[in-house]
Structure 1
Amino acid sequence: MASMTIHNLDDGVMKALEAQAARKGVSAEDEARRLLGAGVEAPGSAEDISRETAWERLQRFKEEIGGGIDFELELPDRKSWKMRPVDLGE
């Protein structure tokens, strides 16, 4: 396994890391390792998935379940939407 040293870490960040680790009952090093691991982008990470549009997410879901369910969604034509004032009840 690799190791690294982080120089010029803000004192406030270190104190917050130590406090967070203490609340979880782990060392500051363990907590830093967990945070770094969660923050690094990996292919298929949650961050990649969150960039999906709703349509892409539905298509991925359909593929994951084997595509046995055949469905199509009809999307409304946004050009037909009309601008109208919002009633705020005033």
Structure 2
Amino acid sequence: MASLTIRNLDDHIKERLRIEAAHNGHSMEEEARLILRRALSRTADSQGLGSRIRARFAETGGVELELPERTEPARLVDLGE
């Protein structure tokens, strides 16, 4: 297992970590491990923003939009000077 040292941690954050650890019956190190594990596993499993928005509002049904036909072909954008 690897070790991690966190320097320059605000006293307020350290105190909150200590209180949460005591509340949950863990050491501060275990509480920090659990917080990191939760935070990193959530982002690894999460979908993109558009998918999350769609899932949240899926129950409301939806709206079918009529898209206009293109009258001109798509243009290339010159990103040079």
Given the two structures, how large is their TM-score scaled by the length of structure 2?
0.57
Aligned residues with identical type, % of pairs: 34
State how far apart, in whole Å, the 1-side matches of 2:66 and 2:8 are: 51
Deviations 1:19-58 (A, max 9, x none): 011111111110100111112232xx1xx23621426xx8
Cα 1:74/1:16, change in 2 over 3 Å? closer
Q: From the two aligned structures, give the one with the greater helix fraction.
A: 2
Within 5 A, what are the aligned runs for 1:1-90? 1-40=1-40, 41-42=43-44, 45=45, 48-49=46-47, 51=49, 52=51, 53-54=53-54, 75-77=63-65
Q: Which runs of 5+ in 1 are unaligned?
A: 59-72, 80-90
Q: Secondary structure at the match of 2:7?
A: coil
Cα 1:21/1:74, change in 2 over 3 Å? closer
RMSD: 2.8
Q: Which has the higher contact order (CA 8 A, sep 6+)?
A: 2
Once superposed, which parts of structure 1, at least 4 consecutive aligned residues long, lie more than 4 Å away? none
Which residue type is aligned with residue 49 of structure 1? Answer: Q
Aligned length: 59
Q: Which runs of 5+ in 2 are unaligned?
A: 68-81
Which residue type is aligned with residue 4 of structure 1? Answer: L
